[in-house]
């Protein structure tokens, strides 16, 4: 207290422990950062190291048996594991198709609302509701809609004179059913980000463009899209990262079936670890997923200069 020259009239004056306080004040930049860094170190570095360790071992489901060192064996298995290849392909198909549809619909909807009904915040919030709901509730809702016997979707098909389908239970439609449910839940997220981006567009370039007689189509391509580019980049990055880890929808709607058509990487890792009781191999697949995600997103962020 005595030595603290910078302590003025604020409430800190009345607190005891001046020496310690002064020390804390001098190292504030580290002290404020420390809890977060320490927690994240413990919760990410430890699991990562542990994963590397587990990935080079064959771990018996019997906890009394020692781990058997297999070196790169688990990674070599990836090359010849047909189920892994199926899961990888399904994940890529899901990610590309779902994120593309979500992006187009979300951007389109944002443009419509921005141009035609700007002030209705209430309406915007209604349109954003799906992204806030528990994915498990979303999965169950769509399970009910897709139900082949009494589901409402088949009722609509019947009314329209179209053939009834098994939807999530059909080999050819299962992935499509998952994608529809995901699009329903996550288009609002893209919509929200695009709406925020549109709200922050400057007005002047558009006035200038209108004076030059540029069509609204030209204005969209030459002004709106370039302005929105950083927002678009972030929206896509976040959605792709989430799509790569899809689990809940598949777990409830199809369980990975029929005939492995919706088996995605997260579900496969879950099955390997807990159903086939092979955590060592599951760790190897997880590392593969982690590696791909980090490489992809780092490359993307560098490219889009998002990390500054």
Q: Which of residues 73-132 bind other proteins (CB under 8 A)?
A: 108-109, 112-113, 115-117, 121-130, 132
60 in contact with other proteins (CB under 8 A): no
247 in contact with other proteins (CB under 8 A): yes
Residues in binding contact with other proteins, number by CB under 8 A: 103
Q: What are the φ and ψ backbone dihedral angles of 238, each rounded to 5 degrees? A: -65, -40
Distance from C-alpha of 60 to C-alpha of 41, rounded to nearest angstrom: 28
CB of 222 to other proteins, least distance (A): 21
271 in contact with other proteins (CB under 8 A): no
Nearer of residues 85 and 302 to other proteins, judged by Cβ = 302
Which window, 41-49, 92-100, 171-179, 219-227, contacts other proteins (CB under 8 A)? 41-49
Nearer of residues 219 and 293 to other proteins, judged by Cβ = 293
Which window, 81-89, 94-102, 171-179, 275-283, contacts other proteins (CB under 8 A)? 275-283
10 in contact with other proteins (CB under 8 A): yes
Residues 158-177 that bind other proteins (CB under 8 A): 158
B/e letters for 223-234, b = 16+ CB within 10 Å, e = fewer, are: bbeebbeebbbb
Cβ-contact 68, 272 below 8 angstroms: no
CB of 114 to other proteins, least distance (A): 11
Contacts of 225 (CB under 8 A, 6+ apart): 232
Tell me which residue of 264, 289, 267 sits closest to 93, measured CA to CA: 264
Cβ-contact 140, 252 below 8 angstroms: yes
Chain centre distance of CA 279: 24
Sign of CA dihedral 125, 128, 132, 133: positive
Which window, 95-103, 207-215, 219-227, 287-295, contacts other proteins (CB under 8 A)? 287-295
Full DSSP string of 34-89: HHHHHHHIIIIIHHHHHHHHHHTEE--SSTTSPPEE-TTHHHHHHHH-HHHHHHHH
Q: Which of 2, 3, 200, 217 binds other proteins (CB under 8 A)?
A: 200
Which window, 81-89, 168-176, 191-199, 206-214, contacts other proteins (CB under 8 A)? 191-199
Cβ-contact 72, 56 below 8 angstroms: yes
133 in contact with other proteins (CB under 8 A): yes
Q: Which of 87, 168, 235, 236 binds other proteins (CB under 8 A)?
A: 235
CB of 110 to other proteins, least distance (A): 11
Token match 């389109």: residue?
Answer: 108
Residues 11-40 that bind other proteins (CB under 8 A): 11-12, 24-25, 28-29, 32-33, 35-37, 39-40
Residues 135-154 that bind other proteins (CB under 8 A): 135-138, 140-145, 149-152
Cβ-contact 221, 212 below 8 angstroms: no
């Amino acid at each position: 207290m005595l030595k603290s020259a910078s302590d003025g009239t604020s409430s800190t004056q009345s607190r005891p422990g001046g020496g310690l306080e002064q020390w804390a004040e001098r190292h504030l930049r580290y002290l404020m950062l420390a809890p977060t860094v320490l927690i994240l170190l413990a919760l990410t570095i430890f699991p990562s190291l542990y994963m590397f360790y587990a990935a080079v071992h064959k771990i018996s489901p019997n906890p009394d048996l020692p781990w058997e060192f297999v070196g790169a064996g688990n990674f070599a298995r990836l090359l010849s594991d047909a189920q892994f290849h199926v899961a990888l392909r399904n994940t890529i198909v899901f990610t590309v198709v779902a994120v593309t549809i979500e992006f187009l619909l979300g951007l389109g909807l944002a443009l419509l609302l921005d141009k035609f009904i700007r002030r209705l915040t209430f309406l915007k919030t209604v349109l954003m509701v799906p992204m806030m709901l528990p994915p498990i509730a979303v999965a169950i809702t769509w399970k009910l809609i897709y139900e082949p016997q009494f589901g409402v979707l088949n009722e609509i098909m019947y009314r329209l004179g179209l053939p009834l389908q098994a939807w999530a239970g059909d080999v050819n439609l299962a992935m499509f059913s998952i994608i529809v449910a995901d699009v329903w839940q996550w288009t609002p997220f893209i919509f929200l980000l695009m709406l925020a981006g549109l709200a922050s567009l400057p007005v002047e370039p558009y006035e200038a463009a209108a004076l030059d007689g540029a069509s609204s189509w030209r204005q969209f391509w030459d002004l709106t899209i370039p302005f929105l580019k950083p927002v678009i980049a972030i929206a896509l990055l976040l959605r792709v990262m989430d799509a790569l880890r899809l689990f809940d929808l598949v777990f409830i709607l199809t369980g990975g079936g029929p005939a492995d058509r919706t088996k995605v990487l997260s579900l496969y890792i879950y099955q390997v670890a807990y159903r086939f009781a092979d955590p060592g191999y599951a760790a190897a697949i997880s590392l593969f997923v982690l590696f791909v995600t980090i490489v992809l997103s780092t490359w993307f962020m560098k490219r889009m200069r998002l990390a500054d």
